[in-house]
A and B are shown apart, each in its own frame.
Chain A
Amino acid sequence: MFKKLPEPGAATLSLYLDGQPVEAEPGETVAAVLLRQPTLASRTTPVNESPRAPFCMMGVCFDCLAIVDGVASVQSCLVTVQEGMRIERQLGRRRLAS
């Protein structure tokens, strides 16, 4: 849906989304990366499991929640990408590691 405008000379970072490699640029947020994936939905809601994607991009709406490096319910619009970061779509109710 969204496409990143090319920035000449920008370095490229490699991340993993649900185990698949994706590219990002330094300084981007995780939510920005999620928004330009072929599958726009980045999570499903806990009760009705309806699809959601990043919305407000400023830490207010909590629709961009994702699992970042194993930590669930992270507001991905507030997290800057890092090389090798592992992102997972958070589907349904959060499961606690025991």
Chain B
Amino acid sequence: MATDYDVIVIGAGMVGAAVAYGLSGPTRRVLMLDGADTDHRAAKANFGLVWAHGKGFGHPDYHRLSIQAAQAWPDFVQQLEAEGGMGVSYERNGGLHFCMSDAELATRAARMDAWHGQTPDLATSTLVLDRGELRRRFPSMALGKDVAGATLGTLDGHVNPLRLLAAMQTAFVRRGGELRNNHAVSAINALPGGGFEVASGERKVRGARVLIAAGLGAAALGPMVGLESHLHPQKGQLLVTERLAPVMPVPASGLRQTAEGTVMIGVTHEDAGYDLATTTEGAVRMARKALRILPALAQVKLVRQWACLRVMTPDGYPVYARSVTHPGASIALCHSGVTLAAFHAGDFAKAFAADALPPALNIFHYERFHVQKAA
């Protein structure tokens, strides 16, 4: 069966755009389909951390994946900025996890030891900083009196997530990929003899293979080609301040200053279905937490509060799987699309191009959610 494209990537968000960018090139016809403007888009509210430190506690494979992705970022960014023709404000000067008491710092330090213990073959990538050491390393930060210390992830950094997405989409198109906006997919049909017909209403295209990377939209699309997603939306609220002279030299979990000077204050984790309302309670909780770390923020004006929905699986880890019933169809879903972008555009796309998934991803099949499998 003749097809129009070698691969159709359904979803042009942080995951779809990264994989499509990695797949595109002169020898491969790649189409990326983006949904409607009003779709739930996790990629419009990313916090912008490129983060490894502490990730995958109790899950060495995710731990490794996060480290691998964080390590791939500098080269990834260099190429992306050149090909996308825009800066993405990536910095890798470390990332902090603040602890607000000596006991909390001791618990955190023990947790980081255990985390490193999961992967003895990997070099240590975190440091425990007491308050004195924190102030010596970052003298410009006016820390609140309750800050007892922090752990520092040396591979961590941050990026402008909106520019990251724009750069990946632009670089994809410049490499010869085709991007169609406002093409929410309504049906995926297997073609006799292989390949798929992907329909957006009356508009239909044919591809030899499809990758579903449509975030929360995957819940409806997966079953069309024998793939499960096990997704639920998790609401996250954010606050952002006016633009300030530097107050934070490195990002922290839930608190970072962007290249333009705004301070992003996060984040809530709420199970509220598809509700996108912001709440005063959420704002108060986030602001209080931020003020304990940087009390001077009490002077600043907040310019915006918003909420978005995370793409969440039951265990919080990604789903990567290939369809058994519909060979050629695959699914890729995750919450940490920014950190994993370097992996998705790199090793993942490379393996996908060869019609495989990286073997290290076998453990991320959705079969792990099946009760009989777990039992």
Chain B: minimal CB distance from A24 (Å): 25
CA–CA, A94 to B244, complex, Å? 5
Tell me, rounded to whole Å, the shortest Cβ–Cβ distance linking B367 to chain A.
48
Would you call B245 and A97 a contact (CB within 8 A)? no
Any chain B CB within 8 A of the CB of A47? yes
Judge whether B260 and A47 touch: CB under 8 Å.
yes
Q: Is A26 an interface residue (CB 8 A)?
A: no
Chain A residues in 8 Å Cβ range of B242: 46, 73, 94
Contact with B along A77-98 (1 / 0, CB 8 A): 0000000000000001111111
Query: What is the CA–CA distance of A95 and B247 in the complex, to the nearest angstrom?
Result: 9
Per-residue CB contact flags for chain B residues 40-76 toward chain A (1 = under 8 Å, else 0) read 0000000000000000000000000000000000000
Asked whether B82 is an interface residue with its Cβ less than 8 Å from the other chain, the reply is no
Q: Are A96 and B299 in contact (CB under 8 A)?
A: yes
**Contacts A47-B260, A47-B261; is A92 near B142 (CB within 8 Å)?**
no
Q: Is the CB of A93 within 8 A of B245?
A: yes
Cα distance A92–B243 when bound, in Å?
9
B296 touches A93 (CB 8 A): no
Contact of A94 with B296 at beta-carbon distance under 8 Å, contacts A46-B260, A47-B261, A73-B301 already known: no
| A96 CB contacts on chain B under 8 angstroms | 142, 244-245, 247, 296-297, 299-300
- For chain B, residues 135 to 170, give those with C-beta under 8 angstroms from any C-beta of chain A: 142
Known: A46-B260, A46-B261, A73-B301. A98 touches B296 (CB 8 A): yes
Report A96 CB to chain B, min CB distance, Å.
4
Name the interface residues of B83-102: CB closer than 8 Å to any CB of A: none
* A residues in contact with B244, CB < 8 Å: 46, 93-96
Chain A residues closer than 8 Å to B261, beta-carbon distance = 46-47, 93
How distant is the Cα of A46 from the Cα of B299 in the complex, in angstroms?
17
CA distance A72 to B247 in the complex (A): 16
Least distance between A5 CB and chain B CB atoms (Å)? 33
CB distance from B290 to the nearest CB of A (A): 13
Residues of A within 8 A of B299 (CB): 72, 96-97
- Within the complex, what minimum Cβ distance (angstroms) separates B258 from chain A? 10
Task: Determine the distance from Cα of A54 to Cα of B122 in the docked complex, in whole angstroms.
Answer: 57
Cα A97 to Cα B300 with chains together (Å): 10
Whole-angstrom distance between the alpha carbons of A87 and B301 in the complex?
18
User: Which residue, of B142, B244, B247, B300, has the highest number of chain A Cβ atoms within 10 A?
Assistant: B244
Give min CB distance, A83 to chain B, whole Å.
Answer: 25
Contact A95 B245 (CB under 8 A): yes
| Residue of A with least CB distance to B141 | A98
Residues of chain B within 8 A of A92, CB atoms compared: 245
Q: Which residues of B from 205 to 251 have beta carbons under 8 Å from A? A: 242-245, 247
Q: How far is the CA of A93 from the CA of B242 in the complex (A)?
A: 9
CA distance A79 to B72 in the complex (A): 52
Q: Fill in one digit per residue for B294-321: 1 if any A CB lies within 8 Å of its CB, else 0.
A: 0011011100000000000000000000
Contacts of A98 in B (CB 8 A): 142, 296
Taking CB as reference atom, which chain B residue is nearest A74? B301
The 15 listed contacts between A and B (C-beta, < 8 Å) are A46-B243, A46-B244, A46-B260, A47-B260, A47-B261, A73-B242, A93-B243, A94-B242, A94-B244, A94-B300, A95-B244, A96-B142, A96-B244, A96-B297, A98-B296
Q: A47-B243, A94-B300, A95-B244 are in contact. List 10 more A-B contacts (CB 8 A).
A: A46-B242, A46-B260, A47-B261, A93-B244, A94-B243, A94-B245, A96-B142, A96-B244, A96-B297, A96-B300
Closest 6 CB pairs of A and B: A46-B243, A98-B142, A93-B245, A95-B245, A96-B296, A93-B261
